[in-house]
């Protein structure tokens, strides 16, 4: 199999060296430095990153992008910052059948992942992601290493399994490509925080107190942005976060240690790790809601310090961080022909609290309202219960049960669409009442007309 690894740094070299031990692979490091190209090809070394270490004789190097024409697999192993500028070099010579594997960590504007960016800019849909708990310094020594592969088609998984055969690289897997990409960016900013904590406290109890909270916040962000919760428990999530937060080989943890020791100055603010962390914070901060941010005290503090540049240290108030204001949200509806508009209002409702209860109109109640549903109550209930942001579905049998439901379920917030504006203000004496904007351009009535029920 013809394999090209874009990037001849420490990680690209370690990866190339590892998969070169599979004799069925022809592995080429695609570099920009002709001197490194000569060294790899003539001496089987890359002394800039691995002095006194011989590389596999089956690993070669090139500075010519034409090697991409015959590539079965292209691994992207460069920093996120340089990806946009290399796209134009790749596109003219990229084989349409090449499987592109993104290993760079980061996100672009409006939360766009690198995988999505590559698909769009290269007009190439055969792109997957490979991330995990891995230090190149250990991978070069053939330490067993676990990666998470995020893919869409089984053939993509089969190809990577074939590539790593005989190496010390192992896989867990998911079809949640977005989640893998997001977690690989998130873990870097929280690793900075954990380094800071160890510098300030140097206490195991406190370290794992904050690690637990960091995982909780990553889970909250992951779910809110559309990733799958179970992805957090793979190598790209809990593995990579633990590695980056707790090991001194981690650059992000080291940066946190320096900040915690009081070495955060102008030169450190221009550090590439700081800049990448600030960029990730800004991008995520721009796409998540203000209500969600209220659940993320660590994220908010990192934003205050790294983006707003307020003060010369991270300030962590334990009482604020672990103050739990548990909130139950209650909403009602018919939810016939469950569509995107329904999903959006339910998702936004769930973000307001910790538990979402949905009062679902029964078939008998709908008839009293003059509504005829295409899907019966039992099936509508099953559909709602399958959604990750719905915690409980209760029957709505009449107009007058809402006060009783609010009291019985101890609801803190009552939510309806803004087409019901002011209609339920009488509940204000029992809970907070909110009216959320409906999703424009979609409605159950319009759908029924379009499909001619």
Residue matched to tokens 């307020």: 310
Q: For residues 13 and 18, what is the distance between their CA atoms, to the nearest angstrom? A: 9
Nearest to 211 by CA among 251, 234, 240: 240
Q: Which one of the listed residues 369, 379, 397, 423 is annotated catalytic? A: 369
371 in catalytic set:
yes
Alpha carbon 393 to chain centroid distance?
29
Q: Which one of the listed residues 282, 294, 368, 371 is annotated catalytic? A: 371
Cβ neighbours for 397, distance < 8 A, ≥ 6 positions apart: 362, 364, 365
Helix axes 177-201, 204-224, angle to 10 degrees: 150
Give the burial string for 63-99 (b: 16+ CB within 10 Å, else e): bebebbeebbbbbbbbebeebeebeeebeeebeeebb
Q: How far does the chain reach from its first CA to its final CA, in angstroms? A: 53
Looking only at the bridges linking them, the beta strands covering 328-333 and 355-361 are: parallel
Q: For residues 332 and 359, what is the distance between their CA atoms, to the nearest angstrom? A: 4
369 in catalytic set:
yes
Active-site annotation, residues: 369, 371
């Amino acid at each position: 199999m013809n394999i090209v690894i874009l990037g001849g740094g420490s990680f690209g070299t370690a990866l190339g060296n590892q998969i070169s031990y599979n004799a069925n692979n022809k592995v080429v490091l695609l570099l920009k430095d002709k001197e490194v190209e000569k060294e790899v090809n003539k001496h089987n070394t890359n002394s800039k990153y691995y002095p006194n270490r011989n590389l596999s004789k089956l690993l070669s190097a090139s500075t010519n992008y034409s090697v991409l024409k015959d590539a079965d697999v292209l691994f992207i192993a460069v920093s996120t910052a340089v990806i946009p500028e290399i796209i134009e070099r790749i596109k003219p010579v990229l084989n349409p059948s090449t499987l592109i594997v993104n290993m760079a960590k980061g996100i672009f504007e409006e939360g766009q992942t690198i995988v999505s960016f590559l698909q769009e800019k290269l007009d190439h849909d055969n792109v997957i992601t490979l991330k995990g708990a891995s230090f190149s310094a250990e991978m070069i020594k053939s330490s067993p290493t676990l990666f998470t592969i995020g893919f869409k088609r089984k053939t993509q998984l089969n190809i990577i399994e074939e590539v790593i055969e005989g190496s010390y690289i192992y896989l867990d897997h998911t079809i949640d490509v977005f989640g893998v990409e997001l977690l690989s960016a998130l873990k870097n900013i929280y690793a900075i925080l954990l380094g800071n904590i160890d510098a300030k406290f140097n206490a195991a109890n406190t370290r794992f107190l904050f690690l637990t909270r960091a995982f909780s916040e990553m889970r909250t962000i992951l779910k809110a942005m559309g990733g799958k919760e179970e992805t957090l428990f793979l190598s790209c999530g809990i593995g990579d976060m633990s590695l980056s937060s707790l090991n001194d080989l981690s650059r992000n943890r080291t940066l946190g240690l320096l900040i915690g020791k009081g070495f955060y100055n102008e030169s450190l603010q221009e550090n590439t790790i700081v800049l990448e962390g600030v960029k990730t914070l800004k991008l995520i901060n721009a796409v998540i809601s203000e209500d969600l941010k209220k659940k993320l005290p660590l994220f908010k503090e990192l934003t205050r310090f790294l983006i707003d540049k307020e003060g010369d240290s991270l300030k962590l108030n334990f009482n604020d961080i672990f103050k739990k204001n548990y909130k139950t949200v209650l909403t009602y509806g018919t939810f016939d022909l469950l569509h995107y508009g329904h999903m959006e209002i339910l998702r936004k409702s769930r973000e307001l609290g910790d538990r979402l209860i949905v009062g679902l109109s029964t078939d008998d109640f709908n008839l009293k309202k003059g509504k005829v549903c295409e899907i019966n109550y039992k099936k509508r209930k099953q559909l709602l219960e399958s959604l990750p942001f719905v915690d409980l579905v209760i029957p709505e049998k009449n107009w007058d049960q809402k006060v009783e439901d609010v009291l019985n379920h101890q609801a803190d917030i009552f939510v309806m669409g803004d087409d019901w504006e002011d209609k339920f203000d009488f509940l204000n004496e029992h809970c907070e009442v909110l009216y959320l904007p409906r999703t424009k351009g979609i409605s159950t009535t319009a759908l029924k007309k379009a499909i001619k029920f």
